[in-house]
Structure 1
Amino acid sequence: MSTSKSPSESDVQTDECAYADCTTEFVVGMAVHGSYCSRDCMLRARGQGPLATLRDDHRWCGTCFARLKEIDPAPEDAPECATGLQTLTESATKGERTRHRDDVVDSSDWRTICTCGNTEHDHHEPAFNSDDVRRRARNLVAALRDLAREEKLPHHVDGQAVVRNVHVDGEVSWARAIGAGLDAVDT
């Protein structure tokens, strides 16, 4: 927390927003939920964790949030190291992915590829943010509901609040939408 002098020389306490991607300083008395400069920053911060959980889970696409795989428990006669059987959904196919990096020779491998074109389940391609936002928002809500059922989220989300908050003021923010969906259930 810092203190600055106004033209009237009165002390004004300011603080930096707790949302990591925000550099705004605000007057302490104007804080939202104690440590955010705005409701938007609070929602984005709240949605980041669940969004990271979703992107770390190989069952969903990190770009369009489509379900890529169903995982069934391993049969009882499977080797002990087997944890489950993966089946691709209609949103996925298998294909070759080529990597181009400066420090190594180009390489390729056989991967699950989403119908949106994403070849990395944990990668989000911002260039696609304006492509069929409503369909992607519905995919996101379905994925979040699955994660909530599996107790990988603190509780379920309000799907309508997620959809309403994806595209605000000309900007697409998946983290803000998730935060709004969680916040709507809490209020």
Structure 2
Amino acid sequence: MSTATTPPQQEHRRQTDECDHPDCSSSYAIQDGVAGHCSQDCADRHRGHRFLNTLRFDHRYCATCFARLKDVHTPTDDWRERKQEPVEIALDQGGEFVDAGDGTLELDATACEYETTIDPDAVSGFQSFTSAGTIGEVREETADGLPDDTRQGTICAVCGNASLSMADDILRRGDIKAVARNLIAAARDVYAEGQTEHKLTRGVFVRVLREHHQQSGGLDFALAVGRALHARSGDCDD
């Protein structure tokens, strides 16, 4: 009596896994996978998606057009020392210098509120707006028929986005060239700061973004960024 057995090669061929890219629900044969993904495109998109999240959760940048809205300045040692002096603390609490009547000034602490002051050593930086950032009324819609929440917030003066951590494809299509330039500049900045270990290759990013738009009419920034971050030595950077 004889029995049939499955050759090891066929058994291995049937082993599958789920694609690691969160926006893909495909499964793939393990031996055909690309770094845990069903395809090179998914691997590139996943890499690009992670990089774009770096900008999305960085309050300095607009997640839609990638314009830099704020600069952050590190406090100087002189500022930290000054903010720990009693006179400076009193001024921060509402105190003021008044005429002492003999041609000199004295500190009047009558109006001091004596609230808890900020520890200067805990201050990581000061932020200031660039020409791309401004303050305006930001409306957030609420559920269950409650009034919308409207408050002062940061608005991107370049594309008009008021939900800075959310990407708006309609606003993004207003000026694709400006969006691409902003993204390239932002990628250069975060690389210089050490937030990412991979330098974005500008020529590859522009080429992949343009080719995908010509083929499908879409704007696959994740694919273009992921491909540009994984560019091989010798790829164009024009």
TM-score category, normalised to shorter length: 0.7 to 0.9
Query: 2:221 is matched with which residue: 168, 174, 183?
Result: 174
Equivalence for 1:58:
59
Matches within 5 A, 1:19-34: 19-33=21-35
Equivalence for 2:74:
73
Question: Structure 1 length as normaliser, TM-score?
Answer: 0.84
Cα distance in structure 1, aligned partners of 2:29 and 2:58: 39
Residue 85 of structure 1 deviates from its aligned partner by 2.1
Equivalence for 2:152:
110
Note closer, same or farther for the CA distance 1:38–1:131 as it changes in structure 2 (3 Å cut): farther
- 1:106-143 per-residue CA deviation (whole Å, 9 max, x = no partner) reads 22211111021111221111223433222211111111
Cα distance in structure 1, aligned partners of 2:205 and 2:133: 24
Answer yes or no: is 1:99 the counterpart of 2:140.
Answer: yes
Cα distance in structure 1, aligned partners of 2:233 and 2:195: 17
Q: Say if 2:65 and 2:182, in contact at 8 Å, map to a contact too.
A: yes
Cα distance in structure 2, aligned partners of 1:54 and 1:145: 12
Which entry has the higher C-alpha Rg, 1 or 2? 2
Provide structure 2 residue ranges, at least 5 long, that are not aligned to the other structure: 1-9, 84-117
Q: Say if 1:70 and 1:87, in contact at 8 Å, map to a contact too.
A: yes
Mean Cα deviation higher: 79-88 or 148-157: 79-88
Q: Say if 2:62 and 2:69, in contact at 8 Å, map to a contact too.
A: yes
Equivalence for 2:167:
124
Q: CA RMSD in A?
A: 2.1
Cα distance in structure 2, aligned partners of 1:27 and 1:107: 49
Mean Cα deviation higher: 85-94 or 160-169: 160-169
1:155 alignment partner, SS class: coil
Cα distance in structure 2, aligned partners of 1:87 and 1:102: 33
Matches within 5 A, 1:36-47: 36-47=37-48
2:230 alignment partner, SS class: helix
Identity, in percent, stands at 34
Cα distance in structure 2, aligned partners of 1:97 and 1:177: 31
Provide structure 1 residue ranges, at least 5 long, that are not aligned to the other structure: 1-9
Cα distance in structure 2, aligned partners of 1:27 and 1:129: 37
1:184 alignment partner, SS class: coil
Counterpart amino acid of 1:175? A
Q: Say if 2:172 and 2:179, in contact at 8 Å, map to a contact too.
A: no
Equivalence for 1:7:
none
Counterpart amino acid of 2:184? V
1:49 alignment partner, SS class: helix
1:152 alignment partner, SS class: coil
Q: Say if 1:137 and 1:166, in contact at 8 Å, map to a contact too.
A: no
Equivalence for 1:6:
none
Q: Say if 1:56 and 1:122, in contact at 8 Å, map to a contact too.
A: yes
More strand by percentage: 1
Equivalence for 1:184:
231
Residue 178 of structure 1 deviates from its aligned partner by 1.7
Counterpart amino acid of 1:86? Q
Cα distance in structure 2, aligned partners of 1:82 and 1:31: 47
Answer yes or no: is 1:164 the counterpart of 2:207.
Answer: yes
- 1:68-116 per-residue CA deviation (whole Å, 9 max, x = no partner) reads 0111122423551433222211112111112221244322211111021
